A and B are shown apart, each in its own frame.
Chain A
Amino acid sequence: MEHNPHQESAKDAVLAQIREKKVSMRPKVYFTLKAALILIVAGIILLVSVGIVNFIAFSLRLNGHESLLAFGPRGVLAFLAIFPWPLVVIDALLVVLLEELLRRFRFTYRSPMLYLILAILAVALSVGITLDRATPLNDDLLQSADHDHLPPPLEALYEGARAPAPHDHGIFRGTVIDIATSTFTMKHDDHDADADDGTYVVMPPSGIPPSDFQIGERLYVAGDTDQNIVHAYGVGQLPPEMK
């Protein structure tokens, strides 16, 4: 048998450390608690991730930006330009962190990494979007934020959910106050009470007569402005504003 001169020394060194109590066995409860802690942290990360997706869905719904997707290629480009990408980056980092945490468990590392990431994303997207579309959670939270009934981080988040219309991207939100033969007039109010508040004459895209709209209706308009005239390439309806 081959003799390894290091064999005894390594074994003896470790045994000596054990006997001198320099090295000790961690109790079983340590590993149970560690696994539980990892799962709890993973659960919290998943919840935050779901929360971010839910907030993105809510923000897009509240501000009417989803209408852009029905406005053709120009609308899609504008949608991509105003999409809250920083939140998406934060969510992506959370998903990677979650994947790293879960890979410690055999049931996860035996699956291909991409499938695990896709599974996490699917859960975050489906739960996040369902919470916004199928429950009054976000609307209730917004009302609570309006009445200062939310704890600080949530309150700041929901108070900031009503974003001003990005008019640098040709987006206008407002209420119809007058309807003419080929145009309608809209009172623009994007919650910020600044210089761009006022009235705009909107020329709807061809095929959409102004008679399709009603006075008092809230609209989402995308187009090019020429002074106070908006040459719209898309007009969408907004739900009544929450008070």
Chain B
Amino acid sequence: MPEDSPESHTDEELAKRVQAGDTEAFGALMERYEAKLGRYGHKFLSDREDITDIVQEAFVRAYQNMQSFDTAQRFSPWMYRIAHNAFVSELRKRSRSPVISVDFDSMVSHPAYDDPAPKEREQKEMRVLIDKGLGKLSPKYREVLVLFYLEELSYKEIADVLSVPVSTIGIRLKRAKEALMKTYQHMNIDYGT
């Protein structure tokens, strides 16, 4: 691999190059994130073309706002946040529920939850469970499960993606897992094996 090829750079280094006007570096970033964001979007929407359109829109917004990205921070949560906002905005357009909703679990502080790196086995099990039962969960719970178990972001990074306090992520993830288990019970699926 040539030393200066995009593959040899971190996301943040590529973002810095984009800020300096290197369009090809942005192409490399899109290549890295398109499948990930598509997978993330699949947890919100089912239509593949819609997902592609929204991912494309997210990339356009990312490019337009690239100068606001702080290259001392991780690129991944920043990109996910843009995509998240685009998907949520699309969901709101389609939803009959009111546009303004209040997240009561981000209203107050919650006991501090550790940000554990999930064990490999737990990670694999959760991935399978999430893939099967996610459709039944509310988007609020879907997104934390996907970001933590599938996209492997930390609590802090998820908090940045969702613009909520870090302690909210801990409690939301706990509730999301409980909701997922309940879903499995309703579906009469043995989730313990």
Contacts and interface: CB of A to CB of B under 8 A. Distances in A.
A25 B34 contact: no
Interface stretch (A61-69, A105-113, A234-242): A105-113
Nearest to B51: A6
A38 to B, nearest CB: 13
B165 A109 contact: yes
Interface stretch (B60-68, B122-130, B146-154, B173-181): B60-68
Contacts of B168: 112
Contacts of A24: 64
Interface string A1-41: 01010110111011101110001111110110000000000
Size category of the B interface is 35 or more
A201 B160 CA distance: 67
Interface in A124-182: none
B71 interface: no
B48 A10 contact: no
Contacts of A27: 67
B56 A10 contact: yes
Given A11-B31, A11-B34, A112 B64 contact: no
Given A4-B35, A25-B66, A112-B168, 14 more contacts: A7-B35, A10-B56, A11-B31, A11-B59, A13-B56, A14-B60, A18-B63, A25-B19, A31-B68, A109-B159, A109-B163, A111-B165, A114-B107, A114-B108
A7 B67 contact: no
10 contacts: A6-B52, A11-B31, A14-B30, A15-B30, A17-B60, A18-B23, A18-B63, A103-B163, A109-B163, A113-B107
Contact of B166 (A9, A30, A110): A110
Interface string A88-114: 000000000000000100100111111
A240 to B, nearest CB: 47
A109 B30 CA distance: 28
Interface of A: 2, 4, 6-7, 9-11, 13-15, 17-19, 23-28, 30-31, 103, 106, 109-115
A14 B59 contact: yes
Given A24-B64, A114-B107, A18 B165 contact: no
Contact of B64 (A15, A23, A28, A110): A23
Contacts of A28: 67-68
Contacts of A114: 107-108
B26 interface: yes
B38 interface: yes
Contacts of A4: 34-35, 38
Nearest to A100: B100
Contact of B160 (A10, A25, A106, A112): A106
B70 to A, nearest CB: 10
Q: Which of B64, B66, B159 neighbours the largest number of chain A CB atoms within 10 Å of its CB?
A: B64
A71 to B, nearest CB: 36
A13 B30 CA distance: 11
B165 A10 contact: no
Contact of A112 (B34, B59, B106): B106
A10 B34 contact: yes
Nearest to A114: B107
Nearest to B49: A6
B107 A11 contact: no
